[in-house]
């Protein structure tokens, strides 16, 4: 539902600025929580971190409703503060869990299913949104009743969070169990934050993490600035469709058994980068045209609707594909479940900082998101070099799987040794 609200353009409000301020605050708090997310989630456990996150979800829907219905801005901004804390716990827990739960040879499929599930939430939200905002000629924000439906669905997350099983009780579909590290103290966990943040894995992927969701702030502003209410409603419905194809297609590439893990990482990076470059060039060309000749509020019946909406449609696929690929790559370096949580927390911290900066930058956008498009394109270009270095060092097998196999072999050998009886003593003859 959070993605569905973002898909409304400016949160569905009449002007995107207030939504951008609230969203910048949300991602600032989310980044802070993610920075300490490894120790928090490893101490609380994945289940309880997800419970805390689920408890915070209804704050967002209710705050947008109050702003739209009563013009109440303080709750939207204060709610973003608390929602950012809760969703930070959720962010770290869900990324660590999905990277850990997936069997080695099916990580691409599992990660695609995760990303697509998030987009299916936007699909449901889009259907609700379009049903409430389909009348032609309506200006301003979306119907306030739209947020009530979102709020009801957000409230449904909490009971499901209680059903999550602890990772140490999980048996994967291929029969393997999850390798868990020995428990360490809270101070020990905090000390590992600096090691994780300064590791080769995070340092080389830092710009990619910062860029990965940077586009959302600019594209949300683009929709809110140039598209009519019902066009924004339609966009929130149809945008997730192609994402399903794109993410599962990438998952198929990343799970190819006939190709080494390193080669799959290289093919995946090339695929994601090329698709994103095409989308950003297209979006910059469209925005330059708009700067020369403002189109007004574009309706879906207008002749320019398709060419101006399609870049947004495709970025809603290439963006999630970039996320899915990066989590697959991070899990390729994991040594245990706790390492996945720390790596995921570090990546999501940098990702949230990028989103906070993007939305903060767009609070100043009065007429043109062109600067945002150019900055996003520049960040992608800057991220490619370090990512090539990282991808070329991808191990051929996941270290956690290798360690787990060695431990299993060690236990089997010990069991065999204990099962062999010592030979009976032979009487010595003089």
Q: How far is the C-alpha of 145 from the C-alpha of 128, rounded, in Å?
A: 10
Q: Tell me, what's the pLDDT at 137?
A: 57
Question: If you average pLDDT over every residue of the chain, what do you get?
Answer: 82
**Mean pLDDT score, 376-388:** 94
Could you report the per-residue pLDDT of 206-248, keeping only the tens digit for each? 999 999 888 887 887 788 788 887 887 787 778 777 888 898 9
Among the four given CATH numbers 1.20.1250.20, 1.20.1070.10, 1.10.260.40, 3.40.960.10, the one describing domain 2-163+184-411? 1.20.1250.20
Q: Taking 50 as the threshold, does the pLDDT of residue 429 lie above it?
A: no
What percent of the chain shows pLDDT beyond 90?
Answer: 21
Q: Tell me, what's the pLDDT at 270?
A: 96
How many Cβ atoms are within 10 Å of 74's Cβ, its own excluded?
10
Q: How far is the C-alpha of 111 from the C-alpha of 99, rounded, in Å?
A: 7
Q: Tell me, what's the pLDDT at 86?
A: 92
| Least confident window among 16-20, 252-256, 313-317 | 16-20
- DSSP string across 307-357: HHHHHHHHHHHHHHHHHHHHHHHHHTT-SSHHHHHHHHHHHHHHHHHHHHH
Could you report the per-residue pLDDT of 32-80, keeping only the tens digit for each? 888 888 788 878 888 899 999 999 999 998 988 888 888 888 898 899 9
Q: Tell me, what's the pLDDT at 428?
A: 42
| Least confident window among 105-109, 271-275, 283-287 | 105-109
Q: Tell me, what's the pLDDT at 272?
A: 95
Q: Contact at 8 Å (CB) between 84 and 353?
A: no
Q: Where are the domains of the chain?
A: 2-163+184-411
Q: Contact at 8 Å (CB) between 129 and 142?
A: yes
Q: Contact at 8 Å (CB) between 343 and 333?
A: yes
Q: Tell me, what's the pLDDT at 384?
A: 95
Could you report the per-residue pLDDT of 120-135, keeping only the tens digit for each? 777 777 777 777 666 6
Assign 426 a pLDDT band (cuts: 50, 70, 90). Answer: very low
Q: How far is the C-alpha of 395 from the C-alpha of 261, rounded, in Å?
A: 7
**Mean pLDDT score, 3-9:** 68
The three-state secondary structure class of 171 is strand
3-state secondary structure 352-387: HHHHHHHHHHHCCCCCCCHHHHHHHHHHHHHHHHHH
Among positive and negative, which fits the CA dihedral 380, 200, 112, 249?
positive
Q: Does the pTM exceed 0.85?
A: no
Q: Taking 80 as the threshold, does the pLDDT of residue 386 lie above it?
A: yes
Could you report the per-residue pLDDT of 157-166, keeping only the tens digit for each? 899 999 988 8
Query: How do the residues of the chain divide into helix, strand and coil, expressed in percent and rounded to 5?
Result: 75, 0, 25
Which residue in 10, 4, 8, 3 sits closest to 218, CA to CA? 10
């Amino acid at each position: 539902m959070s993605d569905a609200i973002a898909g409304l353009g400016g949160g569905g409000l009449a002007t995107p600025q207030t939504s951008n301020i609230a969203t910048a605050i949300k991602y600032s708090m989310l980044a802070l929580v993610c920075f300490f997310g490894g120790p928090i989630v490893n101490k609380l456990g994945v289940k309880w971190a997800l419970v805390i996150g689920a408890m915070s979800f209804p704050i967002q829907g209710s705050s947008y409703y109050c702003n739209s219905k009563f013009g109440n801005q303080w709750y939207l901004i204060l709610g973003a503060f608390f929602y950012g804390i809760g969703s930070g716990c959720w962010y770290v827990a869900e990324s660590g869990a999905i990277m850990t739960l997936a069997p080695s040879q099916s990580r691409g499929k599992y990660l695609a299913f995760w990303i697509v599930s998030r987009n299916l939430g936007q699909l449901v939200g889009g259907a609700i949104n379009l049903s409430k905002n389909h009348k032609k000629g309506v200006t301003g924000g979306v119907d306030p009743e739209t947020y009530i439906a979102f709020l009801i669905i957000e409230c449904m997350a909490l009971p499901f969070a209680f059903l999550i099983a602890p990772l140490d009780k999980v048996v994967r579909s291929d029969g393997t169990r999850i390798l868990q590290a020995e428990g360490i103290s809270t101070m020990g966990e905090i000390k590992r934050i600096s090691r994780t943040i300064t590791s080769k894995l995070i340092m080389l992927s830092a710009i990619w993490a910062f860029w990965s969701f940077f586009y959302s702030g600019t594209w949300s502003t683009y929709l809110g600035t140039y598209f009519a209410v019902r066009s924004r409603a339609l966009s929130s419905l149809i945008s997730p469709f192609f994402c399903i194809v794109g993410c599962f297609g990438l998952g198929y590439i990343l799970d190819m058994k006939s190709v080494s893990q390193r080669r799959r990482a290289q093919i995946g990076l090339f695929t994601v980068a090329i698709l994103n470059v095409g989308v950003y060039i297209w979006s910059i060309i469209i925005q330059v045209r708009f700067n020369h000749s403002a189109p007004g509020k574009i309706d879906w019946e207008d002749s320019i609707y398709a060419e101006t909406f399609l870049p947004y449609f495709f970025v809603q696929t290439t963006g999630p594909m970039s996320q899915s690929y990066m989590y697959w790559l991070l899990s390729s370096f994991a040594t245990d479940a706790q390492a996945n949580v720390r790596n995921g927390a570090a990546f999501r911290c940098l990702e949230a900082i990028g989103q906070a900066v993007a939305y903060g930058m767009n609070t100043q956008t009065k007429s043109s998101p062109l600067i945002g498009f150019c900055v996003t394109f520049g960040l992608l270009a800057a991220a490619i070099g370090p990512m090539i270095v990282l991808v070329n060092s991808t191990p051929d097998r996941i270290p956690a799987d290798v360690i787990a196999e060695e431990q299993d072999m060690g236990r089997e050998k010990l069991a065999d040794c204990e099962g062999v009886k010592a030979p009976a003593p032979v009487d010595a003859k003089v």
